[in-house]
Structure 1
Amino acid sequence: MDRGGCQMSGGGGGGDRSGPEQSGMITLEDLESFSEDQLSDSGNGSLEEEAETMEEDDGRLLHYWQDVARGHQVEVAQDMAEPIQQLTSNNHGRSNREHVPFTLLARKEKCGELLFERRQYEKGHWACIRMREDTYEQSICYGFMRIMKYICQQNSVGDYLGMTLPIVTVVRTNENQAMLSHEVTVAYFLPAEHQAQPPQPTDSEIVIEIWPTTTVYARPFSGPTNEVTIIDQISAMAELLDSTDMCVHDSFIVAGYTNPAHSQRQNEIWFLERP
């Protein structure tokens, strides 16, 4: 990882594990909760029939995203309607979502509870964008929406690229890890079929980077991801490690895997081992 930049490390290891999705406030899983959970409550027809209707009615999907975003002081522009519709129509199920692969090096448990894992992520291509908005949540949301556009045809091949999990956010703290910077980097791992020749983004601020092989200490946690909870999770992870001297002290990864609107969404905090 370029410790001062937006690089962490890519996928490519051996023993991948479905980990706990997304560290932003608005993500692909919000759409899934709309197209599945909310539609199933309408009582006007089968889920399949209503999902097909929603795929055609991208205006209603956009309005849902706008409603969700408003609670986080984020504006979802009209030009997000097509990317939102594409993600919805391509991701009704989870089977077509790649997970960033890794090699599991070690696990630490206590009384049957997983405390953390030590993993190795091999070098790979990631699309990343650095954001700095008025709040941490705004930085995450706006960064993810721009990555969405890249995934959904705003790229040199003009095609939908496919979703990978987790979407990661590189967060930065002060030296004593007591304060989180509003500047974040939102990053998306390119699917295996695009690793050799990554499609180039039309957005000039999205950069395709090769992230080097990196070892991380990953700790799962559930619930919301905001400035307070992330600092709390960094502190909790530091207490579990025998020593943090082997890790970077001011850059961390928040990896998210499930619907951020869910009360028990699944996330991980990653500490980065020094080379």
Structure 2
Amino acid sequence: MLKAVKQTLFSTGLQNPKFTAAEEKKQGQDYEIRTYQATKWVSTTLSGMQWDAAMSTGFRRLFSYIQGNNHNKVKVEMTAPVTCRVDPGAGPACESQFTVSFYVPEEHQDNPPEPSDSEVFLEHRKEFTAYVRTYGGFSNENLKREELLKLLESLQRDGVKYVDKPFYAAGYDSPFKLTNRRNEVWVLKKEQE
């Protein structure tokens, strides 16, 4: 458990899902285009009005899973990023759906342990392409929204086709890492119709 807590707190050497980045950025382009391979994630979904509260509750559920709260009682290595898929509600005073996820490490991709908690599930994400904006500092609900709006403005400026919702936030660092923090917002590429 100490190793998992240390990895979580200091996010050193954590496995990340594999992706291929588009080779060249155009001048003035402030986002990256990434294609992620099909992978498995462990996830939990919450409804609510507050992004940060959902992230906190979701993180605790998933951390319990990687600490052995699964059918095999297996400890699973911490990975990065922690993602939060946001399916916005119908209006500003409506609840949104938040799906918080940990990437399943390579050694468990073929056969991840089944969760013991009924609110935690295994998710198979198909290959997808995302527009990604990276930013530093300590992230919070307002900053995520600001960065998402900047990404959407950039995509509209560049005439890029994208999916309005859902969108994702991704965090790579523990709350105890003070410098060189990495956060992202992801918007999915609209597939050819």
* Contact kept in structure 1, 2:11 and 2:172, CA below 8 Å: no
1:219 aligned residue: 133
Matching of residues 181-200 of structure 1 within 5 Å: 181-200=95-114
Cα RMSD, aligned residues only: 2.7
Distance 1:258 1:95, change over 3 A: closer
Measured in 2, the distance between the counterparts of 1:186 and 1:122 equals 19
1:101 aligns with 2:13: no
Q: Which has the higher helix share?
A: 1
2:36 aligned residue: 121
Measured in 1, the distance between the counterparts of 2:93 and 2:165 equals 10
- The residue identity in structure 1 corresponding to 2:146 is D
1:274 aligns with 2:190: yes
* Alignment counterpart, residue 144 of structure 1, candidates 32, 37, 59: 59
* Alignment counterpart, residue 154 of structure 1, candidates 61, 69, 73: 69
1:164 aligned residue: 79
- The residue identity in structure 1 corresponding to 2:171 is G
1:76 aligned residue: none
Deviations 1:239-274 (A, max 9, x none): 212124x21102111111123353763201111012
TM-score (norm 2): 0.84
Counterpart of 2:183 in 1: which secondary structure? strand
* Contact kept in structure 2, 1:168 and 1:186, CA below 8 Å: yes
Measured in 1, the distance between the counterparts of 2:10 and 2:141 equals 31
Residue 225 of structure 1 deviates from its aligned partner by 2.9
Distance 1:91 1:257, change over 3 A: closer
User: Any gaps of 5 or more consecutive residues in structure 2?
Assistant: none
Structure of higher CA gyration radius = 1
1:236 aligns with 2:150: yes
Deviations 1:44-89 (A, max 9, x none): xxxxxxxxxxxxxxxxxxxxxxxxxxxxxxxxxxxxxxx6x56225
Residue 223 of structure 1 deviates from its aligned partner by 2.7
Residue 131 of structure 1 deviates from its aligned partner by 1.2
TM-score (norm 1): 0.60
User: Any gaps of 5 or more consecutive residues in structure 1?
Assistant: 1-82
- The residue identity in structure 1 corresponding to 2:113 is P
Distance 1:181 1:228, change over 3 A: farther
Distance 1:231 1:181, change over 3 A: farther
1:254 aligns with 2:169: yes
* Contact kept in structure 1, 2:8 and 2:174, CA below 8 Å: no
2:116 aligned residue: 202
* Contact kept in structure 2, 1:127 and 1:209, CA below 8 Å: yes
Distance 1:121 1:159, change over 3 A: same
Distance 1:128 1:107, change over 3 A: farther
Measured in 1, the distance between the counterparts of 2:100 and 2:82 equals 7
Residue 94 of structure 1 deviates from its aligned partner by 4.9
Counterpart of 1:98 in 2: which secondary structure? coil
Counterpart of 1:115 in 2: which secondary structure? coil
